[in-house]
Structure 1
Amino acid sequence: MNSSRLRILAVGKVRRRWIQEGIDLYRKRLPGLQIQELRDSTREKEADALRAAQRPDEQLVVLTEEGETFGSVPFAEWLEQASHDRIAFVIGGANGLTDAFKAEARWTLSLSPMTFPHELARLILIEQLFRAQSILQGSPYHRA
């Protein structure tokens, strides 16, 4: 898995130090991964900012509790199948994303049917991206 083709578009800043430390740890392990933070605002303005931040060659994957759920191995397999695509994972702000924006996504992904703060969702997503890379490389990090 080439992490340089993956990007995270995230509304809001990470304010909790322990979450930022976890994000930093996994970013060191995924050196090509980019994270672009966007300012919180209304859901409509956030959607406009996310559209403006999307690159023309990127496929949007929106994180939402209504999205499809995967185990770690199927998620890694999905990333491998999409290995020629540039993917932007989108994490909305505290008020979520508009239905119209969600409808524009190539795919919707749920990390869990539970709701997480956007900061924690970012950490969980980055860990799962690292885990997917480990699975695809046969690393002992993932123990099924």
Structure 2
Amino acid sequence: MRLRVVAVGKPRLAYARLGVEEYAHRIQKYAPLEVHFVKEARELLPRAEGYRKVVLDERGKLFTTEGLLEELRRFEGERVAFLVGGAEGYPEGVRERADLLLSLSPLTLQHELALLILMEQLYRLFTLRAGHPYHRP
């Protein structure tokens, strides 16, 4: 699986920026990963062209970590883009073009925090798939 994460705005909060960098580095050991930051939400879909699209949305489907791993196995061998909107949400058409609407929590999360949580969960999924002891249910 080739991964691309496309997020609106570079993280300004130091903990989020450092965390995203750390998990991006860790994920690279398991799968090719690109992280792209765009200025506006209308740039999300063009950056995800040719990829399966997983759109983060509080109205999306909630999974356990193991359940999300099983769901993403549908995309094995494909290119998958995770789209993270900004404070203003998504423009028309983004949710409709999603292959999966994913909720990280029923709570509304600040977008930098959502990005950091996504990165940690991607790392967790790859370590779980590889049989490493990082994940402890």
Q: Under a length normalisation based on structure 2, what TM-score does the superposition of the two structures give? A: 0.91
Q: Are 2:9 and 1:12 aligned?
A: yes
Q: Are 2:123 and 1:130 aligned?
A: yes
% same residue: 38
Opposite residue 84 of structure 1, the aligned amino acid is: G
Matched positions, count: 134
Q: In structure 2, what is the Cα distance between the partners aligned to 1:142 and 1:52? A: 34
Question: Which 4+ runs in 1 deviate beyond 6 A?
Answer: none
| C-alpha RMSD of matched pairs (Å) | 1.3
Q: Are 2:66 and 1:69 aligned?
A: no
Match of 2:90 among 93, 97, 102: 97
Match of 2:24 among 13, 27, 43: 27
Structure 1 unpaired stretches of 5+:
41-45
Deviation of 1:99 after TM superposition, in Å, equals 4.4
SS at match of 1:67: strand
Q: In structure 1, what is the Cα distance between the partners aligned to 2:25 and 2:93? A: 34
Q: In structure 2, what is the Cα distance between the partners aligned to 1:126 and 1:113? A: 18
Structure 2 unpaired stretches of 5+:
none
Q: In structure 1, what is the Cα distance between the partners aligned to 2:110 and 2:24? A: 19
Q: Under a length normalisation based on structure 1, what TM-score does the superposition of the two structures give? A: 0.87
Opposite residue 36 of structure 2, the aligned amino acid is: Q
Q: In structure 1, what is the Cα distance between the partners aligned to 2:105 and 2:68? A: 13
